[in-house]
Amino acid sequence: MLTIVAFVMALGILIAVHEYGHYRVAVACGVKVLRFSIGFGYPLLRWQPKGSPTEFVLGAFPLGGYVRMLDEREAPVPEHERHLAFNTQPLRARAAIVAAGPVANLLLAILLYASVNWIGMQEPMAYLAHPVQGSIAESAGLHGGELVRNAALGDDEIRPVRSFDDLRWMLTRGALNSTPVRLELEATPGAPLRAVVLPLDQVDASQADAQLLHKVGLVGPWTRPVIGELTEGGAGQRAGLRSGDVVLKVGTTDVYDGQQLRGLIRASVRIDKDGTKAIGQPWRVERAGRTVTLLDVTPEVHTDAGGAVGRIGAFVGEPPQFTTVQYGPLEGLWNGVTRTWEVSVLSLRMMGRMVIGEASLKNLSGPLTIADYAGRSASMGLTQYLIFLALISVSLGVLNLLPLPVLDGGHLMYYLWEGITGKSPSDVWMERLQRGGIAVLLLMMSIAMFNDITRLFS
């Protein structure tokens, strides 16, 4: 239920802001607006303020909205109202009205990101977990447990890293842009900073997906490899593990953090001719200040989306260390502007890479995935939901600025042609481009829905 409510609320806010951008600028330019609609289909609610020419409508189908203006291309316009019609307006006014929707979404994203910055968030500190074996981070000499104090993308000026989420965003940008990331690390509190360069230009961005940071080798923040609450009768309890045990070694492998320990447990399965079996290994743990060796810890075999994995029936790893990240009024606003710009540029680059085949089409997401993320973010609290809204608002703004005839960007493309040549495209070309734009949009929607369904059943 939370997922549905969060999804519908997100759609309502984003569509209303987009259409209000069109409406507000149209009114400011002296255009008569006949209808402002959120949603399509049967009107669930409609009203018209006294003295206003605009009817406001809430439609039954929420995936979209529109602003209907007086226009001679759609219906006859009385001579005394021709100056109020959209098609009779100067080119700059028409372009401003069309661009106002996507711009409104981008402005909303800035406000949402800024609001999160002003409210403040509890975020994990940028302590590095043990890097994935064979990854770029391991090759660069990272061991795990280091605190990232400062970082920079490529030749940019180095700046403080406030949290692991801050670092994660920089690593994602570096990997997708094939740009090295410079880090300044503190191995122990008060120790001199050590400089490390992660050559993220070696990452194959064509396979950019949820496993991108796994390829980099830094998946999450460092956590102590502590055993938490155990399931009654589970594999961990049967092996003699106790809550509070700090795991030092699994078999011959030294354990550095909770993330690494979880990976070792999941990987402790073997498939042979007799089927899938769990592999038992001796564990060395620290318990009440002394070292204890458990002769055999044999996980249970479970099956999830990734196949057969091992589990011990216990919480593994302490929560990471958190810090409060909060910005002042101007700094928070500027951070909202820069984050909106960075997400916009990154979105355009990803779309461009998908078009030329340098990035997987699996990155396209449809309404099912968006609804899932809406529910998850809402369950995590207000700030996470605001971040989700900001991200989707940027995506909506960028998508609508694409030069596809059925989108706002397509109309701006027509106006650019008109501004260069002094005349609008012919009706024949308008019809051809419109059909082509619809075909491309339907193709994108089909791929996105296919990806949604694939993720749902994987």
SS3 154: coil
Least Cα distance to 70 among 88, 53, 85, 80 occurs for 85
Residues 222, 180, 388, CA angle at the centre, nearest 5°?
A: 60
For every residue of 212-259, DSSP letters joined together read HHHHHT--SB----BEEEEPTT-HHHHTT--TTPEEEEETTEE--SHH
Whole-number Cα distances in Å, 163 to 123, 153, 167, 325, 383? 6, 16, 7, 7, 15
Q: Are 161 and 221 in contact (CB under 8 A)?
A: no
The catalytic residue among 19, 123, 146, 184 is 19
Residue 79 falls in the annotated catalytic set: no
- Give the integer Cα–Cα distance in Å for 341 and 335: 10
For every residue of 34-95, DSSP letters joined together read EEEEEEEEEEEEEE--TT-SPEEEEEEEEEEEEEEE--TTTS---GGGGGGSGGGS-HHHHH
- Give the integer Cα–Cα distance in Å for 351 and 360: 10
List, by residue number, the catalytic residues: 19
